Chains A and B, each alone.
Chain A
């Protein structure tokens, strides 16, 4: 009998990481290497009037917008985000120039002596300046609301969340072959490469990007490294020496992208039977000073508007508002955690308003196979939420606890959320924007090399991709190789984002492996390639945002038990029971590890991780002020997986990485609601916030 692919193997990078031998960016030193430090705007908005630079010691350099050979913007979706601020600044911390030189202490002194004067302008901090508005409609929501027996309306709010990877951002750049090479802590080697090509005006063969070991990313190293990669490339071209640019913690927290704060308005049209006939929603996200990826984040958030429920009539609007604050960007879940918080709380709040049992009410609206999605696409594949629900209710003893915790004096609660997550890029993104290409090479010793741009930042593709190929070829995993991507050798298989790596890239790797197997001649070198083809049945119209937003969905349920201290209102998240349908786990422990980590981030998002700014200046900028869960805070995790193979995924695999975070916050918040007997409309539900709620009798 063949071994089940899901059965776990040891992580292939485990030993080098446990022994401290893995080489991260800051561990690398090069001969004659210089250091760089960034000079940043101290105001939220204004024009740069004058920059006074002290006399520079020999061997020290300034690098700024004037040194950029080609384009002064970071190549992403828009052209608004400058590599270095030129003339004007739009947020506190915006990079203006680098000081480069051999001694960090001297650099620090020079940085202190650079004086910049500004003509300050009035900054914008509220959500008023929309730079992108999106909208989609399903059915006839106007009619549904006109005919409604009752209309129920609530507003929800979510805060910043900082990725807080333990390894701060950084790169080393050096000149090579009349071009530039960058080694860094990155998720997307080709994003960096394409951005550097644009800024430097360099040909493809002049820019090389190599991934070092990555000490956590969670989306935070998706687009932001393109900015500092471009800055460093400009510096390397000017100075002609290796340069290291590694952020310190406070700098990292103050200037890098975060999860977008969001305000979400929800309206439901309910009929005489209590059924939700229509939903109208508006989500506004704070993009910060530049668009970056905000439009796509907004889109993914909007697409989650009905979560795992079938609602016949939907209108969803959304805006990206620009403000004079640090630009926000990718973070695991990418807009979905905000919307799923809103819709999960909303459905519960509607049920309570109608005097219905929330669980039964949710079940009556649960999405089923064949139903139309919020954008009129089709849930083609089996949905196993009912089976999953049965398992998790029993494992968590939900009903017994829910009953026992009705007693307001026990200050305990149990909450449940269910959710979906679309796998891969939204709509036709894989086909039209990414066009992933992958390559496998068999050498003359019959070893196979996986040549893709996917980054292992802890989520395990080194292990799972090698396992996948080894398993399909029935050869030992030791004969399959997968090095950190280097754009000189690997094809552009797309960014390591959007829960796409195993389903999309792994799907191509599996296809190429079969091709390799068919053409296999022992002792001969052989190269095979594959590129992405959108499944024929996926139809998406980007202009109207209608059709199949994703080729497949992963599903999950979280049940959370909390105890709230009746005096301090401190929330203790005690246990989480979780079940996921990721199609088929290529390695069970890898997916369960994603589960534990994603859930812990959701617990932090819901209860601890408060970040706010005052007039554009972030108030939490280190790990003392910004609290992520410690070993003492984390709940006991009880996780299960259910197989539901997706026909086009390798062995049936779908996306897993983001799923484990997107729905956790409402399950925590609903548990807190039960414990304190008050409704929650805003996260994080910190003790201060809970105290406010408790002090207001009208909730």
Chain B
């Protein structure tokens, strides 16, 4: 049987599950990692965002086959990093999380944004987050948090 091998949060995983399984289900149901959330199941809301070889992807529309030979980072792995601490503090201080269901996805989107642009402008932040929906905050406090993370975490990205 063809196995699917990938690195998840720094650990090698070998899966014998069907290659067409949704990666979000593999994470949440098979591996018990519930940090990525299902908001829409169609790649629109970003609550299920994870990093695939460092690139942000929606795991609800990602078949398991797509991670073969690749590296995946979810919030469970990311939260152990220094960069996460900077983002966490900034989100907390700026009130960027309300109900919290979009927040792990927003954090992953923030990492992707800052990695590619450590000092983003206001418009670059808006554009960078436009794949992640939030219904509580109106986004302004998230923008402020990202600016704070970029500033206080200078040198990390």
> Could you list which residues of chain A lie within 8 angstroms of chain B, going by C-beta atoms?
8, 10-11, 13-24, 26-27, 29, 163-168, 213-218, 248-249, 457-460, 589-590, 592-593, 596-601, 622-624, 628-632, 634, 636-637
Contact = CB atoms under 8 A, between A and B. Distances in A.
B35 A20 contact: yes
Nearest to B99: A458
Contact of B107 (A11, A18, A249): A18
B152 interface: no
A624 B104 CA distance: 22
Interface residues of B, number: 52
B101 interface: yes
Query: From DSSP, what is the main secondary structure of chain B's interface residues?
Result: loop
Given A13-B100, A458-B100, A166 B44 contact: no
B140 A636 contact: yes
B129 to A, nearest CB: 4
A639 to B, nearest CB: 9
B130 to A, nearest CB: 4
A213 to B, nearest CB: 7
Contact of B99 (A10, A15, A216, A632): A216
Contact of A19 (B40, B88, B98): B88
A11 B42 contact: no
Interface string B47-89: 1000000000000000000000000000110010000100110
B138 A632 contact: no
Contacts of A216: 98-99, 101, 135-136
Interface of B: 28-29, 34-42, 44-45, 47, 75-76, 79, 84, 87-88, 91-93, 95, 97-104, 107, 125-143
Nearest to B122: A636
B99 A166 contact: yes
Contacts of B76: 20
Given A20-B104, A623-B42, A632-B127, A590 B95 contact: yes
When A and B form their complex, which 8 residue pairs have the shortest distance between CB atoms, in order from nearest? A20-B35, A17-B100, A215-B101, A458-B99, A600-B138, A458-B98, A596-B138, A20-B104
A568 B29 CA distance: 45
Nearest to B132: A631
Contact of B139 (A14, A20, A600): A600
Contacts of A628: 133, 135
A18 B97 contact: yes
Contacts of B39: 166-168, 215, 249, 623
Query: From DSSP, what is the main secondary structure of chain A's interface residues?
Result: loop
A637 B135 CA distance: 15
Contacts of B91: 14, 18
A569 to B, nearest CB: 21
B133 A166 contact: yes
B42 A622 contact: yes
- Residue among A10, A458, A624, A630 having the largest count of chain B Cβ atoms under 10 Å: A630
- Residue among B37, B87, B100, B129 having the largest count of chain A Cβ atoms under 10 Å: B100
B100 A215 contact: yes
A249 B84 CA distance: 29
Contacts of A592: 95, 141
Nearest to A596: B138
B134 to A, nearest CB: 7
Contacts of B79: 19-20
Contact of A597 (B87, B101, B138): B138
A166 B102 contact: yes
Nearest to B96: A18
Contacts of A16: 100
A634 B139 contact: yes
B38 A26 contact: yes
Nearest to B88: A18
Contact of B136 (A10, A249, A458): A458
Contacts of A601: 135, 138
13 contacts: A18-B88, A18-B103, A18-B104, A163-B135, A164-B135, A460-B98, A589-B141, A590-B95, A596-B138, A597-B98, A622-B42, A623-B39, A624-B44
Given A22-B100, A26-B38, A215-B37, A631 B75 contact: no
A248 B40 CA distance: 7
A690 B14 CA distance: 55
A637 to B, nearest CB: 5
Contacts of A459: 98
A382 B88 CA distance: 41
Nearest to B134: A166
Contact of A249 (B29, B41, B87, B101): B41
Nearest to A163: B135
Given A8-B95, A622-B44, A631-B134, 7 more contacts: A10-B93, A14-B91, A17-B99, A167-B37, A214-B99, A598-B138, A634-B138
A20 B136 contact: no
Given A27-B34, A166-B45, A623-B133, A634 B140 contact: yes
Given A18-B88, A214-B99, A24 B136 contact: no
Contacts of A217: 99
A590 B94 CA distance: 10
Contact of B44 (A168, A589, A623): A623
B38 to A, nearest CB: 7
Contacts of A630: 129-131, 133, 139
A632 B130 contact: yes
B103 A165 contact: no
Contacts of B136: 216, 458, 593, 597
Contact of B75 (A20, A214, A637): A20
Contacts of B125: 631
Contacts of A249: 39-42
B133 A218 contact: no
A43 to B, nearest CB: 26
Nearest to A24: B101
Contact of B34 (A20, A215, A622): A20
Contacts of B135: 163-166, 216, 218, 597, 601, 628
Contacts of A164: 135
Nearest to A660: B138
B136 to A, nearest CB: 5
A214 B135 CA distance: 13
A460 B101 CA distance: 14
Nearest to B90: A18
Given A165-B135, A460-B98, A623-B45, A632 B93 contact: no
